[in-house]
Amino acid sequence: MVDLKGQYLKIKPEIDHAIQSVIDSGVFINGLPVGEFVSNLENYTGARHVIPVANGTDALQIALMALGLQPGDEVIVPAFTYIASAEVIALLGLVPVMVDVDYDSFNVTAAHIQKAITPKTKAIIPVHLFGQSCPMEEILQLAEANDLFVVEDNAQSIGAVYSFSDGREQQTGTMGHFGCTSFFPTKILGCMGDGGALMTNDDDLAFRAKMIACHGQAKKYVHDVIGCNSRLDTIQAAILNVKIHHLNDYIEERQAVAKRYYEGLAGLKSIVLPGKMPFSSHVFHQFTLKVTDGRRDELKSFLAAHGIPSMIYYPLPLHQQNAFTDIAREGDELTTSEQLCQQVLSLPMHTELTEEVQTYIIDKIREYAQQ
């Protein structure tokens, strides 16, 4: 599905030098590369503040903690996403409210969210899934009208650009009260371990998030709130400082791979290609098909038999996970999320995918579809 070694080999001298520089410095926690990466990510995204943390899940949890939500408050989250988006809600004693998603984009919409709002609702977590933005203009308007916080889960769509109706453009992760991202190695901007970050344009929220991420202290050994210990270590920051300068190239390479998939797989019966929304660019964290004839698992097995990996993101919606049985609420019918879990299949998508290998993948899918 990914070729992290191949990506590393292309920039090996830069990465090796960055890592060796940290080792030579002996400063493995909060070394200079951490501050440099914060500045680089702020410049890249346009966010006023970036708060580096240990992983993307911590970023989501710290964001909710910084907003001052109280146990029993409801937070709306899509049912079709990775568990981390809802897991942090439950960990804090909040109530995850599961809502459905759009069949074409895989993303939550304002219409889905509106059905789930109650007097207990305090926040929304729109997840920019698979590489493109949720319809943020409508979501932000709905949030403002109902006095709700917005925490963007941008783990899969860093670098995607949202276009407002008035012509303004903003990167995903910079429009809500917080944006949260992950630098897990397989992400578009990935380190060589764990890492994550929060983004915000609010000075007070940034101060609070930084304090929470550092044991609740703004001054050493003076703890004003209960916090946690979540840091991006210096070696990972040094690696990210190298890779962020290649990020636009990585995105363009993924878009080129996606273009070949669209052209090569067009017109196949029972194969629905990913929808691209007119208000968002697409950075293609995944290239996810929908197999509509009930033979998704057969196609997956056929590809595996021919040496082609594929993945199901996700095989079970969140509202059907045992972990949420007694603590979550369903905001409305979740039929699309359930349908997608039966149909989706993600193909190899990475910067090292050659045209020759991709042609082989496309040819095998066409061979199967024509059986």
Residues 173 and 116 in one domain: yes
Question: Which pLDDT belongs to residue 251?
Answer: 98
Which pLDDT score, from 0 to 100, does residue 222 have? 96
Tell me: do 97 and 236 sit in the same domain.
yes
Residue among 92, 229, 205 nearest 151 (CA): 205
The C-alpha atoms of residue 147 and residue 71 are separated, in whole angstroms, by 18
Q: In sequence order, which ranges of the chain are alpha helices (DSSP H)?
A: 4-10, 12-25, 32-45, 56-66, 84-91, 110-116, 136-145, 203-213, 234-243, 247-265, 296-305, 335-343, 355-369
The pLDDT score that the predictor gives to residue 332 is 87
Distance, in Å, from the CA atom of 280 to the CA atom of 98, rounded to the nearest integer, reads: 24
Residues 222 and 271 in one domain: no
Which of 245, 267, 301 is the endpoint of a domain?
Answer: 245
Residues 108, 221 within the same domain? yes
Q: Which residues contact 307 (CB under 8 A, 6 or more apart)?
A: none
Confidence (pLDDT) at 207: 98
In this structure, the answer to whether residues 241 and 297 fall within a common structural domain is: no
We report the CATH number of the domain holding residue 28 as 3.40.640.10
Output the tens digit of pLDDT for each of the chain's 371 residues: 999 999 999 999 999 999 999 999 999 999 999 999 999 999 999 999 999 999 999 999 999 999 999 999 999 999 999 999 999 999 999 999 999 999 999 999 999 999 999 999 999 999 999 999 999 999 999 999 999 999 999 999 999 999 999 999 999 999 999 999 999 999 999 999 999 999 999 999 999 999 999 999 999 999 999 999 999 999 999 999 999 999 999 999 999 999 999 999 999 999 999 999 999 999 999 999 999 999 999 999 999 999 999 999 999 999 999 999 999 989 989 999 999 999 999 999 999 999 999 999 999 999 999 88
User: What's residue 59's pLDDT?
Assistant: 98
280 and 295 share one domain: yes
- Please tell me the distance from the alpha carbon of residue 368 to that of residue 333, in angstroms, as a whole number: 34
Q: Which residues contact 210 (CB under 8 A, 6 or more apart)?
A: 51, 218
* Dist CA 43 CA 27 (whole Å): 25
pLDDT score, position 159: 98
Q: Are 281 and 59 in contact (CB under 8 A)?
A: no
CA distance 3 to 27: 30
CA distance linking residue 230 with residue 272, whole number of Å: 41
Measured CA distances, 174 to 41, 218, 222, 343 (Å):
11, 24, 31, 31
Same domain, yes or no: 144 and 119: yes
Same domain, 140 and 252: no
- The domain containing residue 93 runs over which residues? 4-245
Look at the chain and report how many structural domains it folds into.
2
pTM of the model as a whole: 0.97
Same domain, residue pair 22 and 12:
yes
Q: Are residues 273 and 152 in the same domain?
A: no
> Given CA atoms 187, 191, 193, 196 in this order, what sign does their dihedral have?
negative
pLDDT at 328: 94
CB 101 within 8 A of CB 108: yes
The answer on 259 and 229 residing in a single domain is: no
- Domain end, chosen from 188, 216, 245, is at 245
Q: CB neighbours (10 Å) of residue 65?
A: 21
- Alpha-carbon dihedral of residues 287, 288, 291, 294, nearest 10 degrees? 140
End-of-domain residue from the set 221, 245, 269: 245
On whether both 133 and 225 belong to a single domain, the answer is yes
